[in-house]
Structures are given as C-alpha cells and as structure tokens.
Amino acid sequence: MPTRRHFLKQASVATSGLLLNKSNWFKEPQLIGLQLYTVRDEIKMDVKGTIARVASVGFNSVEVFGYESGHFFGLEPAAFSAILKQYNLKTPSGHYVMKDFLAKGDEDNLKRTVADAAKMGHEFFVVPYLTEDLRQSLDDYKKLAAHLNRAAEEAKSAGMQLAYHNHDFEFKDWGGGKNGFQILIAETDPALVSLEMDMYWITRAGLNPVDMIKANKGRIKMWHIKDMANTPEKEFTEVGSGIINYKEIFKYKKESGMKYFFVEQDKTKIPVFDSIAKSFQYIKNNILS
C-alpha cells in the first residue's frame, strides 16, 4: 500500500513536470499568414465571406491591404478589424501606399494613414510598392530613403515599426554596380526601418534569399513567400511547387530576425482558395512540422 511519503514524492514529481512545461501553457500557436492581396478580387465583392474562407483554410493571421481614404473596402478600420477578430485572425502588419507622402512629402497623408493603421493594431506598417514615377534615378531613391525615415518616426510614435517591401526593380543596375536597394539600406535608419523580404522577387532579381538574409542580419522582420515555376516565364506558383528552396530558407529565420511570414501569390492558375490551401498545407506539413 502506498505510504503518505510515497504519495508526496509522486505529487512533487508531477508538480515539477508541470512547472517545467509551464512555458507552454500560454504559448501562442505559430502564425501562418496570408497577404490579403492574394484574394483581392474576392474581398472587393464580399469582405466578410472572403475573410471567413481565409480562416477556414487554416490561416490564423493576415496582412491587410486596400486602405484608401480612411477605409478598407468601404469599411472604417474599426469595422474591418472587428471582422478579422470575429474569425480569430491576427493582423500584425498592413500595406500602406501613401503615394502623396512619398511623392510630395504630404504630411497630412502620412499622419492620417499612420493613425488609421494604428487602429488596426498592427506591429508593422509596411510601404509595399514604389510607382515607376518615384524611381527614375538613384537620386530618387535617396529622396525616398529620407521619406522612409520620416514615415518610420511617425509610425514609431503610433506604436508601430515601418518596413519596406521589395520587388525586383530596386535591384536595377544604374551603373557601376549601384542600385536603389543599396541606397535604401544605407540611408535608412536600421533601428527604425526594417525589411519585408519577398522571396519570389529576390529570386526573380537573380539573387539568393539566404545571401540577402546574411547581408542584412536581424533587419528582415517579415517574409513574403510564394514560389517560382520552373518555366521560362517564371510564373508565380504555390509554395512547394516551384524552385525556391523554402526548407533551406527557413533555417535562417533567426538570423533574419523574422517575426512573421505571409503567403502571397500575385496570380494563380488554379482557383485562388485552392491555391492558398495548397500553400498552407505545404508550409504546415513540410516547413513547420
């Protein structure tokens, strides 16, 4: 028959086990995100229905886009945020174009956009794209770097960090091996301006994502992941279906400083919800398993 001493010893062992695992009690699930631009046609027609389908695939976070004149798809930030919360989707990041600010230094455009982004509860405020007229020379990139520094200050004051999302045009050689990306990196404050690295566009530019991570350690806080088809056209394709080695790239997430990643596919050959489900399952079963 077990003695009282034996019972207390067993209880102590059990309690120790619980304490050792206490760090897991409140551990949040791994965030697997979707950039909502992927479902842009669908969300413009049916915001709530599209968000519901994104959640049903298994995504637990999204990166928003579509902000225009104080609204997302006709909804004020609070209303749009409420829909995301209804489907338990976190939104750590959002894309904000701010053309008037980037082109003309319009402070009203900057402050209004940052204030509305903050209502979404983002951690990161992302400048996602530079229209062609903004990037006609290396001097243009120097002006843009100054604007990014200013925008980063405003974002910080609202509790967010600014990030810049690349395409491939930043790597155009303007002569002497100089490109716009080099200027943006050199002339923005690394304490204020981080990067959202798009793996497809880095690869399309003829560069290696792992080399980019090693060259910008700790500064690449977010990733966009989509694949590149092994065809002459190098079309977009689902993660795990192309030539980009995501198993290898994910080994460097700590070195990158990566906090969040988002599936994004600019175009799909199969129905878009089938496409994002295929990418999701590959990531879940082959990258995060």
183 part of a folded domain? yes
* Helix extents (H) in 136-217: 138-157, 180-187, 199-204, 209-215
**Within a 10 A sphere around the Cβ of 139, how many other Cβ atoms?**
10
Q: Is residue 100 part of a domain?
A: yes
Instruction: Determine the Cα–Cα distance for residues 228 and 210; give it in Å rounded to an integer.
Output: 16
Question: Is 20 domain-assigned?
Answer: no
Query: What is the model's pTM?
Result: 0.90
Domain count of the chain? Answer: 1
Please classify residue 239 by burial: count the beta carbons closer than 10 Å to its beta carbon, then call 0-12 exposed, 13-18 middle and 19+ buried.
Answer: buried
**Residue range 51-64, pLDDT digits in tens:** 999 999 999 999 99
Q: How many residues does this entry show for the chain?
A: 289
23 belongs to a structural domain: no
How many whole angstroms separate alpha carbon 210 and alpha carbon 253? 10
Q: Which residue type does 164 have? A: Y
> Is residue 193 in a domain?
yes
pLDDT at 28: 62
Helix (H, G, I), strand (E, B) or coil at 194: strand
d(CA 37, CA 50): 12
Q: Please report whether residue 89 resides in a domain.
A: yes
Query: What's the pLDDT at 11?
Result: 44
Of 34, 24, 159, 25, residue with least CA distance to 87:
34
Question: Hey, is 223 helix, strand or coil?
Answer: strand
Task: Give the distance between the most distant pair of CA atoms in the chain.
Answer: 86
Flag whether 4 is in a domain: no
Q: Give the pLDDT score at 27.
A: 52
User: In the 8-state DSSP scheme, what is residue 153?
Assistant: H
Q: Which domain holds residue 147?
A: 29-287
pLDDT beneath 50, residues of the chain: 1-4, 6-26
Query: In this predicted structure, what is the pLDDT of residue 23?
Result: 41
**Domain holding 273: CATH number?**
3.20.20.150
| Interatomic CA distance for residues 277 and 98, integer angstroms | 31
125 domain residue, yes or no: yes
